[in-house]
Chain A
């Protein structure tokens, strides 16, 4: 306090002013914190979102966080110093609250020694009397200012925006591919004696992921295997550093699995064609698909669900399924047999032979199918031509009918059991569907009408 005429004889008014100044300083500090901390939290959240999954060293993250923290502390101090009330302001507040006529202001700011002691004593006495009217807790309660609410609202808004745009931005910031990250983690883990074996496995996984000849299933399987081992190691690990490292590895593996799963779904999308099946005879490749389908029941549920999602109607339950649900694997096989007319026309022995051939390997044909890399850059129509026919025409195709899956499902309700009759007598639920364009010169196609595309149906009806 500037004016303390007789510091050793501090009056109740001066003590009150000191207490009030301390209280108002606290208020200013709270105001500052409430104004600055929410944006800081939002910034940290933004950084966490943007760098999640990215290959950023721990020390770099630490430096960023420290810099952000230092900036926040600096901003808090600057604003606090600016907003913390000075003694004349505190004294004016006290004057206003107590109804005094600048008694506290004069007492707080008066230079010592220039005035008669009797005057100063009188001023202290009067100020103390006015001070009795003030109760700091009652008269100066803390109220959150509008600026704090605004800061919180703006920060929440920013967090929401970050949440919305994070996937877009993250795509740009995640520079390092999964393989590189696995290599880095393997290098780090190789330095720890306990994690050396895991490091080698990570290296192997990275190599497998980089290998273009390796099938998706192989990659998937290896990734899952390594992940299980990491989980086990995490349970056993006591060191925090190693645990962090294992956590990073686990995260990287999740990324690897996602990458593999997306690659697999891409392949299947290219193969299957968006939930519409063809009645075109698929030699070899069709069998391998069938084998793959049969083996899919043994696959990991995650992969299966991905596949189902990508295949759309292929996995849609049909009315005839309940009877087969007792044996899901068989049921799925039967279901696929029913929905694919080519298989109905095929020689069962041939099909069985194909299965046996593929089934000699693990996964009942899954491995076989996986060994052949999915055709890339070839139009579905080209791939679905029977061998030997090529682009010359669809002579082998008796008809091509497109039917929507919901119609299949709706019609299937009225049929107790699917029939495997000939082409002409088959029920609508068994009518195969295709996304292959129907050539105009197919002679047998005249009797059958191609169903209208979806977008035109409403107009005709």
Chain B
């Protein structure tokens, strides 16, 4: 294990180069880019939420170019069928012999962009989400393993909710991070205009080599080796525990939090926090997790895992506000 382990410096260098290449295309959103990359090396999937035109699709494309991996985009519509995603058996005629052959769907790519995922029916959504979790699909009783590394970057529009099928909580939980794509600030907007309205439109260069599977896997392995002190693990546990309502694993949400929460975070939330924190530590050149890493990761890791109740909606309380309150109320030690 020790011999094959990538050096932390190498990880940091590669990561920084990837960031830099994506930032050539995407103006601003540095934090967003970093968290997508962390989720990628942690083996998770990302849900991007933002209004149209903020560069979500461009971001994913730039990332794919930098990674040098196969990329497929699926535009989710209400009439999209699961077979359109995972693939299907088709009758083929090869040398006079007819047989069913599996035709792979777009899910068989390293990077899959599920654009406006909430516009597809739950049946289709489920097909994608199953692939996300199992890293394989089963068609006509035959399992097909997905490409490795594999990441789904789904987007959804917070407006125009008519005719959409919001993702159920169980499916939301499969996403490692939920990232909010915010409109650019004026300086960033100026830079966007400069870059996109000129004669040359910049493109992200390739960072990873062609045969990059081993390299990415080594980076993933290194990320999981990052050390975390027991008090910091306890802090993560307390954070997640504090989001849980009474009756849900004996949760201990404070009154100010409890009144807005219908369901708290699942253990997947804690897993996401710790893996994300480890990734953040490596990116910052450390081989151990600090409290700051945890605090940076908590919001994107928990915001889609906390289901707010009607009172929160009525009072316009967001999940981010609730998590912020949780972090205020839960001491580090």
Contacts and interface: CB of A to CB of B under 8 A. Distances in A.
Nearest to A88: B231
A122 interface: yes
**Chain B contact residues, majority secondary structure:** loop
Given A88-B231, A103-B288, A106-B288, A117 B225 contact: no
> Main SS of the interface on chain A?
helix
A110 B1 contact: no
B197 interface: no
Nearest to A109: B229
B291 interface: yes
A123 B231 CA distance: 17
Interface string A65-108: 00000000000000000000000110010000000011101101
A116 B2 contact: yes
A117 B227 CA distance: 11
Contacts of B5: 116, 118
Contacts of B290: 101-102, 106
Contacts of A105: 229, 231-232
B227 A101 contact: no
A119 to B, nearest CB: 4
Interface residues of A, number: 22
Contact of B286 (A89, A101, A108): A101
B325 interface: no
A115 interface: yes
Given A89-B333, A118-B5, A102 B227 contact: no
B292 interface: yes
B144 to A, nearest CB: 35
B287 interface: yes
A115 B289 CA distance: 13
Contacts of A111: 230
Determine which residue in A105, A106, A118, A122 has the highest number of CB atoms from chain B within 10 A of its CB, and name it.
A106
A59 B290 CA distance: 60
A92 B292 contact: no
A23 B5 CA distance: 40
Interface string B225-250: 11111111000000000000000000
Task: Please name the 10 residue pairs, one residue from A and one from B, whose CB atoms are nearest each other, closest first.
Answer: A102-B290, A101-B290, A106-B288, A106-B229, A119-B287, A109-B229, A115-B227, A88-B231, A105-B229, A109-B230
Interface of B: 1-2, 5, 8, 225-232, 284, 286-292, 333
9 contacts: A92-B333, A101-B290, A102-B291, A102-B292, A103-B288, A106-B288, A106-B290, A110-B288, A122-B287
Given A110-B230, A116-B1, A123-B227, 7 more contacts: A88-B231, A102-B229, A105-B231, A106-B227, A106-B288, A106-B289, A115-B225
